[in-house]
Amino acid sequence: MKISIAQLNPLVGDLEHNLHKIQQSLEQVKKDGSQLLILPELFLTGYPPRDLLEMPWFIQQINAVLHDVLALSKHYPETAILLGIPQPGASLGKGLYNSALLIGKGKILFQQNKSLLPTYDVFDETRYFDPAASIMVFPFGGERLGISICEDAWNDPLFWPRPLYNKDPIGELAREGASLLINISASPFQIGKDNTRYNLLSSHACRHRLPLVYVNQVGANDELVFDGQSMVLDEQGMLLWQGAAFDEELHTIDLDIHESGHSFVPLQPVAALYQALCLGIRDYLHKSGFKKAVLGLSGGIDSAVTACLAAEALGPENVLGLLMPSPYSSMGSVDDSLELASRLGIQHHTLPINDIFSAYQNSLQPYWDPAATGLSQENIQARIRGNLLMAFSNAFGYLVLSTGNKSEMAVGYCTLYGDMSGGLSVLSDVSKVMVYELARYINRHREVIPEAITSKAPSAELRPDQKDQDSLPPYEILDRILYHYIEESCPASRIINLGFDRDTVHWVVKQVDRNEFKRRQAAPGLKVSSKAFGGGRRMPIAARWQSS
C-alpha cells in the first residue's frame, strides 16, 4: 500500500485554511498513486485549539467543514484521508472526542477516538474530551489498520518505569490483529525529545513485530513548537524514512517495497534549539498578524541572541533594534549594539533616556529620593525602556520581543512593565548558560555577535559598575540548581545533598517561589524544555509553603 505522510503546519481555528492544505495535499499525492493521506492530530482545528472547543459555534463550524472534506474526498476516490478532528460524543461527560476519521469517496469509513488524554505539563485534554470507549482495527488497502492518537503511544509498559495509565492502546491494537500501526500526533518539541520519541516508537514496532507510521504536526502555536520529524519504522523498529525537522513535508512511501532500515540520528541539541526558537518567533508573529518585531539592544548577550534569532526568523528588514542608553550605560555597550545591528543588517535607532529618567526623579523628589532607594531607581530605567518599546509597537505595528532568559525569570531578576514588557518572551525557557551556547552556535561560521558581547561579564547596567554576579550566584551554579528544582521537582534538601552550598540553594529556592507573581504577568514564552514557566508550571501566588 502506498501512503502519504502530510507533516503540515495548521493555523489554529482557521478551518478553511486547513481545509485548503488538505486539498493541496490530495492534489499532490494523486500523482503518486497514494491510497491513503495521513494528517496529524486535530489537524482540521490545529493543535491546541484550547477553549475554542467549548464554543458551540466553533463545533458547528467544524461539522460544516467536515462536510466539505467529505465532498472533497469524492473528487479523489483513489485516496482515502485519515484526518484528526474533534467529534461529538455521548450525552454524558464532555460530549466530545479527539478523533481520527478515515474518509473515502465521500463517506466516513471508520472512527477511532483517542484513549489516553494527557493532563500533565502543558496538556489539559480531559478539560475538553472523553476517552475512547473501545479500540478497534479496520481493514483497508490489504492491511488491518491499528490507528492511535499521540498519547496513546506513550504508555508502553516496557518503556516507562511508572506508567501513567492502566491501558496500553498500542498493545490492544496488536492483539486485535493490526498489521500496520498508525499514530497521528501533535507532539511538542523539547530538547532531546526526538531521541526519546524514536526509542518509544521503535519499542512498539519491535515488540509487536509490526510496521509503524508516525505523523507529527509541525509549526508553532502560541508557546508550543512542533518539530515534525514524522517517521516510518519497519517491524524490527528500524527507521525506513524520517520527515524534516521544523519544516513541512509531504512524502509518499510504498509499504510493499521493503527498503533497508537505517540508524536514527538525533538532532544536535543547540542546533535544534536554534531552529525551534526561529520557528516559534516566525509562526507567533505571522499567525498573530504581525510582520515586524522590535526589541531593545542593550549590548548584552540576551538581546544579541534574540536579535539574531529574530533576524533569521523574520528577515533582517523586519527587525528594529532600539538602543536606549541611560547614565549608567557604558560606551562599549552602545558601540557593541551598533556593531551587532550593522552585522545583522537590521534597522536601529538610538533613544537616550537620560532626560526622561531625570524627569521621573524630579517628579518623585517631593515624596522620596529615588537615588536613595536603589532598586526603585533601577526599575524606573527599565520601565522607561519598556514604555519606549511599546510606543514603537503602537505607532508602527511591531511586536515587542522581550529578551529575558529563564535564569533571570526564575529568580525574579527582571522588572515588571520594564524589560518584561513585550508580546513574546523568546528566551524565557532558555537558561543563561544555554544562551551562551546559542551565541557560539550563531557564530559557528562567522562572528555575527561581536566578541566584546560574548566575553563581557553580564550586567543590567542600571547602577555604576553593576554586574549580575553581584546579586546572583554564578550562572553555571544557578542554572544547575534551577534545573534540579524546576525541571526535576527536587526539594532543597536533595539539591543540597548533590553537593551544592546550603545557603545558595535556599536563596535560589526562595527567590523562585516568591517571584511567581512576576512570571504570571510575563509575555508568553516559547517552550523548549521539559518544564517551562507558564501553562506547564502552575504554581499559586497568594500562598505560603516551604520546600523541604
Sign of the CA dihedral running 389, 312, 186, 74: positive
Residue type, 33: G
Instruction: Tell me the C-alpha distance between 17 and 487, whole Å.
Output: 37
Task: Return the SS3 of 142.
Answer: coil
Chain centroid, CA 446 distance in Å: 28
Catalytic residue among 125, 150, 292, 308: 150
Quick one: CA dihedral 58, 63, 64, 69, positive or negative? positive
Residue 339: helix, strand or coil by DSSP?
helix
Do 87 and 114 form a contact (C-beta atoms < 8 A)? Answer: no
The answer to whether 69 touches 44, Cβ cutoff 8 Å, is yes
What's the burial of 376, exposed, middle or buried (CB within 10 Å: 0-12/13-18/19+)? middle
Residue 491: phi, psi to the nearest 5?
-75, 165
Closest CA to 125 of 53, 220, 61, 223: 53
Which strands make up the sheet holding 180-185, listed edge to edge? Answer: 138-140, 143-149, 180-185, 212-216, 231-233, 239-242
Q: Which of 114, 292, 432, 527 is catalytic?
A: 114
Query: Strands 293-296 and 399-402, how do they pair?
Result: parallel
**In angstroms, how far apart are the furthest CA atoms of the chain?**
85
> Does 451 participate in catalysis according to the annotation?
no
Q: Annotated catalytic, 488?
A: no
Catalytic position from the list 2, 21, 41, 125:
41
Contact 420, 279 (CB under 8 A): no
Indicate if 527 belongs to the active site.
no
Residues serving a catalytic function are 41, 114, 150
